[in-house]
Structure 1
Amino acid sequence: MLPPRPPSNGSTSKHGMIHPDDAIRQTDDDASSSRASAISLGYLSDPFSPLLYKPSLQPGQPSSSSRKPPLINIGTHHRTIGIDTLVNQFLQNDRSVKKQVVSLGAGSDTRFWRLMSQPVPPNISKYVEIDFPHLTSPKAHRISRSKKLHSVLPPSSTSSFSTPYKISQGGTRLDSAHYTLLPLDLRPSPSQSIHQLLDEHLLPLLEPTLPTLFLAECLFPYMPPGDSQSIISWFGERFDRCVGVVYEMSGLDDSFGRVMKRNLASRNLSIPGSDPFSTPQSQAQRFLDPSLGKGVFEKSGVKTLWQVREEVIDPQELQRISKIEILDEIEELKLVLEHYVIAWGIKGDDMQSIGL
């Protein structure tokens, strides 16, 4: 089980003790530093990453912004292309219809800015990013301090504010016409279920009649499986046209997985949400589980990152990145990539063509 809900005022208690959720929050630094490494070497292009991600400096440890091994850089590249492909398919599906995107555990993600800076931005009605207040607070600050970031936020015609955004809840929340950064712990409490939590805090920001996509990148493994399934069922119940995209590790019952679990345990991390979804097929099936009730999806699919490499990424792109760093151990790369999957669920007749 995950530890109790954290307070909303930071990462340490009033006595200065390290908060038990800090290990989970550190996973955002892991992902963001890997992305920063891939960007710095030319695997990916993202001018917004250095504006939203500042490496954490811990005494006695090297900077997390240091260059990562080729295996990590390539995996980050493949993960990005696979997820971007699904998101772009969703947004380009009947561009005349407004869309909604919810990114769960968004951390320092830059996807909203990358999308809205395109020559023809997608028709997004609302983009919501959710994370711990400890992580939304510095992000809200960086957005407000950077003209390049907040200039992407169009002003609301009904807003009385001089800026295109409003910061509230002690600097942890940012609202604009099409983008909201929402500080929210997605775990249930004794007095409030996940469905009630999302109904109260997230649903008022969205329009149930619009096509909606939710992203969960390396979030569900750190939650009890019942909680992650509750989140999936909530989206399936509330939106008739819905796409869910999940990225996480899989197949951890072998030697590779045991090593990964030991490494996580050394950092006070456990992944209780991974055990019931130990194969790629089970990751796809989670969207079709009858226990989801009215929230069950109609169609699902899954690919490992190795399949993304072999079947989705353009061969010319693979040739380009092969020149960035020398990688002799293709079998080792395959082993690593086969332990990460992108799964998706589809609901709605006009969503059925989406998939990798």
Structure 2
Amino acid sequence: MLPPNLPPRRESPSPSANPSSDSDDAIRLTDDDAASSRLSAAQVGYLQDPFASLLYKAPMSQPGGFGPQGGIRARKPPLINVGTHHRTWGIDLLVDRFLQSGGKQVVSLGAGSDTRFWRLMSRATPPDLVKYVEIDFPHLTSPKAQRITRHRKLYQYLDNSSDPSSMAPTMPPPGQHSYKVSKGGTQLSSPLYTLIPLDLRPSPYEPTSSISSILSDHVLPQLDPSLPTLFLAECLFPYMPPEDSKQIIKWFGETFGSCMGVVYEMVGLDDSFGNPNSSLSQVRKLSIPGSIFSTPESQAERFTSPILEGGKFDNAGAKTLWQIREEDVGPEELQRISKLEILDEIEELRLVLDHYVIAWGTKGETMSSISL
């Protein structure tokens, strides 16, 4: 459940740069952490996610046996499976409430191998989305674009012209597709979904470069500022300087009159639980400049801080995964997942879940009531 790293920007950030560099390996490893945890939770039965095995293939060096579809089945410990379930449950609740409140656009920052778009659009009644944008580094968007174009179960959802009363999307004629792959195979564009290869960090070699200009130049053209918009940042901000994550929140708050942000992060890195995880990050050569937001309260306050000026959000809140377990998951679901694996150490589970937080901020009248 370790968050992904944002290493220092390379001198040559070109998508064609050598993907085997130490920095790229560190990023790929952290995406492997998240994706393999989701795949494990789905395989054991914690999550209903038929897309996890399509969008993620574990490295051959990863321990584990071969799964039923030829991929490596790396089953995670029960603690991680439960944590992945609660993380998904909490974020899904917020996303659903955003959509039920008239939300039309979603931007997922550092999306990696995430499957949320396909889980949403494969519902019997899919949401009335106008645009879903995913952003990540080129060496992560490239394999994702390839997997999307290889699997009909993935690319069939890229067009928003499907009949919402139908259980299956409308398929284009044979040989024709509603998507376009560009930028050397690292970008995929379609009417409903766009995958963008993008480094959000300002380049030290471009004095005029800024996060707001990067977002305005590369992301805003995909969106309509007049529509309610959600941004997701799961395990992204901890490894960004606080000023950079502030600029991202501020940009969304300034650009969209009706907006919501959801972040998922680890907190309490300075206590007895957090220190070992911090040490592991050091072994992986991961710095954690965003660890100053060390409590749920500070995570929520980053949305409403006066330093955001015109980008300040109206309301904010935060819950630990333990609070989500106690207040939001529900007894029937807890009973269901309790039968999947033996988990005796409830106090240990609470210790782990108390160190992971989902925080959210809302702006605009239609978004004001959204909370957990």
For residues 6-17 of structure 1, the aligned pairs below 5 Å read 7-9=13-15, 12=18
Question: 2: CA distance between counterparts of 1:70 and 1:344?
Answer: 27
1:164-184 Cα shifts (integer Å, max 9, x gaps): 100000000000001000000
Of 208, 219, 223, the match for 1:206: 223
1:152 lines up with 2:168 in the alignment: no
1:176 lines up with 2:190 in the alignment: yes
Q: Secondary structure at the match of 2:290?
A: coil
Q: Does the aligned pair in 2 maintain the 1:251–1:280 contact within 8 Å?
A: no
1:219 lines up with 2:236 in the alignment: yes
Q: Does the aligned pair in 2 maintain the 1:24–1:269 contact within 8 Å?
A: no
Q: Secondary structure at the match of 1:189?
A: coil
How far the C-alpha of 1:65 sits from its partner, in A, is: 4.2
Question: 1: CA distance between counterparts of 2:76 and 2:221?
Answer: 41
Whichever residue aligns with residue 22 of structure 1, its letter is D
Q: Does the aligned pair in 2 maintain the 1:250–1:340 contact within 8 Å?
A: yes
Of 182, 185, 199, the match for 1:185: 199
For residues 258-337 of structure 1, the aligned pairs below 5 Å read 258-274=275-291, 276-337=292-353
Task: Mark the CA change 1:253 to 1:324 in structure 2 (over 3 Å): closer, same or farther.
Answer: same
Q: Secondary structure at the match of 2:23?
A: coil
Question: 1: CA distance between counterparts of 2:73 and 2:98?
Answer: 32
Q: Does the aligned pair in 2 maintain the 1:105–1:217 contact within 8 Å?
A: yes
* Range with greater deviation from structure 2 (309-318 or 49-58): 49-58
Structure 2 equivalent of residue 124 of structure 1: 129
1:92-131 Cα shifts (integer Å, max 9, x gaps): 114xxx6000000000001001101111110111000000
How far the C-alpha of 1:11 sits from its partner, in A, is: 6.3
Structure 2 equivalent of residue 34 of structure 1: 37
Task: Mark the CA change 1:44 to 1:155 in structure 2 (over 3 Å): closer, same or farther.
Answer: closer
Structure 2 equivalent of residue 70 of structure 1: 78
Question: 1: CA distance between counterparts of 2:73 and 2:136?
Answer: 22
Which 5+ residue runs of structure 1 have no aligned equivalent?
Answer: none
Task: Mark the CA change 1:91 to 1:9 in structure 2 (over 3 Å): closer, same or farther.
Answer: same
1:322-351 Cα shifts (integer Å, max 9, x gaps): 111111110000000000000000000111
Task: Mark the CA change 1:268 to 1:65 in structure 2 (over 3 Å): closer, same or farther.
Answer: farther
Question: 2: CA distance between counterparts of 1:238 and 1:22?
Answer: 34
Q: Does the aligned pair in 2 maintain the 1:156–1:176 contact within 8 Å?
A: no
TM-score by length of 2: 0.89
How far the C-alpha of 1:7 sits from its partner, in A, is: 2.6
1:180-225 Cα shifts (integer Å, max 9, x gaps): 0000011111321000100100011100000000000001111111
Structure 2 equivalent of residue 25 of structure 1: 28
How far the C-alpha of 1:293 sits from its partner, in A, is: 1.4
Task: Mark the CA change 1:102 to 1:155 in structure 2 (over 3 Å): closer, same or farther.
Answer: closer
Structure 1 equivalent of residue 177 of structure 2: 163
Question: 2: CA distance between counterparts of 1:243 and 1:4?
Answer: 28
Which 5+ residue runs of structure 2 have no aligned equivalent?
Answer: 1-5, 65-71, 163-171
Question: 1: CA distance between counterparts of 2:293 and 2:235?
Answer: 13
Q: Secondary structure at the match of 2:275?
A: helix
Question: 2: CA distance between counterparts of 1:43 and 1:72?
Answer: 11
Whichever residue aligns with residue 313 of structure 1, its letter is V
Of 65, 86, 105, the match for 1:100: 105
Q: Secondary structure at the match of 2:268?
A: coil
1:45 lines up with 2:40 in the alignment: no
Question: 2: CA distance between counterparts of 1:10 and 1:145?
Answer: 22
Q: Does the aligned pair in 2 maintain the 1:103–1:216 contact within 8 Å?
A: yes
How far the C-alpha of 1:20 sits from its partner, in A, is: 2.0
Task: Mark the CA change 1:70 to 1:343 in structure 2 (over 3 Å): closer, same or farther.
Answer: same
Question: 2: CA distance between counterparts of 1:89 and 1:206?
Answer: 20
Task: Mark the CA change 1:272 to 1:127 in structure 2 (over 3 Å): closer, same or farther.
Answer: same
Q: Does the aligned pair in 1 maintain the 2:316–2:361 contact within 8 Å?
A: yes
How far the C-alpha of 1:155 sits from its partner, in A, is: 6.8
